[in-house]
């Protein structure tokens, strides 16, 4: 696995090849809402799909994990008096809806896709089969992993780290609302500074809002670099793949 994107612009540009061969992009459900309070903005999903399409066109193998927080979160259901496990299954079903929305937007743009769900749903999509997913990517298809890990009490961040490791990805890309990891929320604190690089231990010790602790631990144990960038900046995904642009890399050192 590579240690992170090649941040020396010239060397990547000269070589004319992307900094990564295979990546997993995690997009939270909230990123699909746009300015809405709830649900899916087809306009935002379309923009994200266009960016994914341009990365596929660079020859990078791409798989996706989509969250479900724009529709349902298990903790909210539990807070409202539901049994946590049932509420979490509802959250996982929400991620399947988002996966289908992203699949649709990608295919409209000519990108071949397959959705694989951790909860088998035969008439909607494929079940999760690791070797089959790898084969799809080798054929240039974008594989969208739905239903998280398939287990309650987990998150789609952990599902993203798990699938990235299983797929042998060179990096886990986390598309967020801002262009990296900051010392504080830059939308609330104008003095917040952006980190270029962090270690897994920095993230855990300082409780930085990158991904949840189990996702960070899984990435750390398997030497999987995490690259945090803005999902809303047009073309940012392709820029990061080319080793340019603004992002924060989380690695071991």
Binding site for ligand UDP (CB under 6 A): 28-30, 67-69, 73-75, 88, 91-92, 94-95, 148-149, 151-152, 154-157, 159
**What is the Cα–Cα distance from 46 to 35, expressed in whole angstroms?**
14
CB of 58 to ligand UDP, least distance (A): 25
Which residue's CB atom is positioned nearest to ligand UDP?
A: 67
CB of 72 to ligand UDP, least distance (A): 7
CB of 168 to ligand UDP, least distance (A): 20
Question: C-alpha angle 44/117/217, rounded to 5°?
Answer: 85
> Residue 30 or 166: which CB sits closer to ligand UDP?
30
> Residue 12 or 156: which CB sits closer to ligand UDP?
156
**What is the Cα–Cα distance from 27 to 224, expressed in whole angstroms?**
17
CB of 6 to ligand UDP, least distance (A): 28
> Residue 57 or 75: which CB sits closer to ligand UDP?
75
**Burial category of 52 from C-beta neighbours within 10 Å (exposed 0-12, middle 13-18, buried 19 and up):** buried
Contact 190, 237 (CB under 8 A): no
CB of 167 to ligand UDP, least distance (A): 16
> Residue 135 or 187: which CB sits closer to ligand UDP?
187
> Residue 19 or 92: which CB sits closer to ligand UDP?
92
CB of 99 to ligand UDP, least distance (A): 12
**Burial category of 104 from C-beta neighbours within 10 Å (exposed 0-12, middle 13-18, buried 19 and up):** middle
Contact 172, 24 (CB under 8 A): yes
Beta bridge partners of 146: 117
Helices 84-108, 42-57: axis angle to 10 degrees equals 60
> Residue 96 or 250: which CB sits closer to ligand UDP?
96
**What is the Cα–Cα distance from 134 to 132, expressed in whole angstroms?**
5
């Amino acid at each position: 696995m590579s240690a992170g994107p090649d941040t020396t612009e010239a060397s990547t540009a000269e070589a004319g090849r992307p900094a990564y061969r295979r990546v997993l992009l995690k997009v939270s459900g909230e990123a699909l809402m746009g300015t809405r309070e709830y649900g899916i903005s087809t306009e935002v999903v379309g923009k994200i799909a266009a960016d994914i399409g341009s990365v596929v066109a660079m020859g990078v193998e791409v798989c996706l994990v989509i969250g479900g927080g724009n529709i349902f979160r298990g903790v909210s259901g539990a807070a409202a008096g539901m049994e946590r496990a049932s509420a979490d299954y509802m959250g996982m079903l929400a991620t399947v809806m988002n996966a289908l929305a992203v699949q649709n937007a990608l295919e409209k743009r000519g990108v071949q896709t397959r959705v694989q769900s951790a909860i088998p749903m035969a008439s909607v999509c494929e079940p999760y089969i690791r070797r089959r997913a790898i084969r799809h990517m080798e054929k240039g298809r974008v594989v969208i992993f739905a239903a998280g890990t398939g287990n309650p009490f987990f998150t789609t961040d952990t599902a993203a780290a798990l699938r990235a490791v299983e797929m042998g990805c060179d990096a886990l890309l986390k598309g967020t609302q801002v262009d990296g990891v900051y010392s504080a929320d830059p939308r609330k604190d104008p003095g917040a500074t952006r980190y270029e690089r962090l270690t897994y231990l920095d993230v855990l010790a300082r409780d930085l809002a990158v991904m949840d602790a189990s996702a960070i631990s899984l990435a750390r144990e398997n030497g999987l670099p995490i690259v945090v960038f803005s999902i809303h900046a047009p073309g940012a995904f392709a820029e990061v793949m080319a080793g340019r642009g603004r992002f924060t890399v989380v690695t071991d050192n």
